[in-house]
Structures are given as structure tokens and as C-alpha cells.
Amino acid sequence: MAEPFNVACVQNCAGQDIEANITQSCQLIREAAGAGAELICLPEYFSCLYLDRSGFKLGGYTQDSHPAFTIFSALAEELGVWLLLGSLAIQAGPEQYYNRSYLLDNQGRRVAQYDKLHLFDVDLAAGESYRESDTIVAGDEAVLAATPWGLLGMSICYDLRFAALYRAMAQAGASFLTVPAAFTRTTGQAHWHALLRSRAIETGSYVFAPCQYGAHGDAESYGHSLIIDPWGEVLADAGEGPGFILCAVDPERVRQARAMIPALEHDREFKVVAPHRNLDRLSA
């Protein structure tokens, strides 16, 4: 089993100015590394996020031309830390993008990338409506990344509501689950803590969930970046405002939680009996 290590989640409030967003993120990464972080996680769309009447501004680039890669690859190597680039808008076609998360190792190399599977197409109360599928192309693969501490399962924001994704990654060997997000204030206040604790408890995994905070034009993110242990305990909560949270993470806690409640080994096949079929059975 791997040795304990330190994880940080950075919390920022991105706007339209990509250079300013990246500069602030770099400063927070340096502060987290200075505090001892070995893996540092950034939120969804940390480099650009803004909503107005014309739609979302996400700072999209082709993968090879995105300015974040050169900057953060060099920073990871300089500081000797692993970086989760929560997500960037990567061009998939004319006016179409992938919402893509990247993991960089401590030499600045791209270890893994993941395209968001589940797109946020919802209609909330008071006319609050989002259609992520208008500009984002959904991925079709779950991704696990190898790290010095164990396998890390990657996801993004709205994926959080699909428990089967996290169960599948844990059953494939993931000990750590990342959930970079820009969760809306409306849904965050109601569901953020409960859903993240549930994913940790159901899988016996650590959950690292960096989230943006504050207003991005007509959109507002909830903040409250979280680090949660495999028993569902919240180890750190960033509240609202810029900064980072830092925790020591012990991979042995994953083994212990899964040994006490080995639910990942207890799946059984079953059929869903609909009401009309249930009546047929009763009358047979």
C-alpha cells in the first residue's frame, strides 16, 4: 500500500480574462505546494467561465494551442507536484468543444485525459436553465489514471449525479475520485455535500472535489471545495472565496473502509418488476 500524501483543492472564481485566471491559479498552486501538497486539483473551467445572453464563454482552444498546457506543465515540473487541470474547453469542431480534464505528473507530462460524460441540460426553478449540450460534445469513456499513490478515477461536475460511474471506477481499482466542478449555487446548496459524501461512502474512496465559487456573469458557482475520506467524513471544506484546502490522505484508509463494508464485492444481478408485471405474477 502506498504511503500517505498531501492533496490540495484550489478554489477560484474565473471570468473572461484567461490570463488573469491562469495567473491567480498559478499563485494558489504555488501556495499549496509551499504548504506541502503533492497532488493539487483545480476546478472545472478554472481558466475561463462566463455567461451572458449570448451563452457561455469558456475560452476554447485546440488541445495543442491551449495556453494552460505550457504554463501548467512547466509549473508542475518546477514545483515537483502532480496537477489535475479540472477542465478546459477543447475544440471538437466548429462551435463545439469537449469539457476535458487532464492529469499532469510531477514532470509536467500528460498522464491522462477525460471528456465529461454527462452534460448539464436542466431547467431549475425561477427560470434558471442550462443547456451544456448546445456547445459541449459528450465523452464516452470512463478514465482511471495511474499515480504513485494508486489509481485515480476522473469525472467532472454533473457526472456526480450518476453513481454507477463511480462504482464502476472503484470496482476497476480506483482509490481516489476527482470531481472538479463549477456547481451552481442553486443545486450546490441543496445537493453538493450530500452527493459527494454519498459517492465516497458507496465506493469506500477518497473524493477530491475542487469547485469554483462566486459570480461568472449570469452564472454563479457554489464554492465549498471538499476533500472527503472513504468513510464519508468531510476532512476539509473551502467555504466561499479564493484559496485552497489541504489534507493528508492515507491510502490505507481505503483498504480499511472496503474491508469493513465490502459492498463493491456484493453486487447481484436483478430484474426490475414493473407494476403490470407484478400483477401478472400475483395472479399466476
Q: Which residues are catalytic?
A: 44, 116, 157
Instruction: Specify whether the CB–CB gap between 105 and 128 falls below 8 A.
Output: no
Collapsing DSSP to helix, strand or coil, 130 comes out as: strand
Instruction: Specify whether the CB–CB gap between 156 and 114 falls below 8 A.
Output: yes
Cross-strand partners of 237: 226
Phi, psi of 156 (to 5 degrees): -145, 125
Q: Which of 64, 66, 27, 29 is CA-nearest to residue 45? A: 66
Q: Which of 207, 191, 216, 204 is CA-nearest to residue 245? A: 207
- According to DSSP, residue 190 is labeled I
Residue 1 corresponds to which cell in the numbers above? 500500500
Instruction: Specify whether the CB–CB gap between 48 and 91 falls below 8 A.
Output: no
Give the distance, in angstroms, between the CA of residue 133 and the centroid of all CA atoms in the same chain.
Answer: 18
Q: Distance between CA atoms of 252 and 161, rounded to whole angstroms? A: 27
Q: Which amino acid is at 204?
A: G
Q: The cell 459528450 sits on which residue? A: 138
Instruction: Specify whether the CB–CB gap between 40 and 83 falls below 8 A.
Output: yes
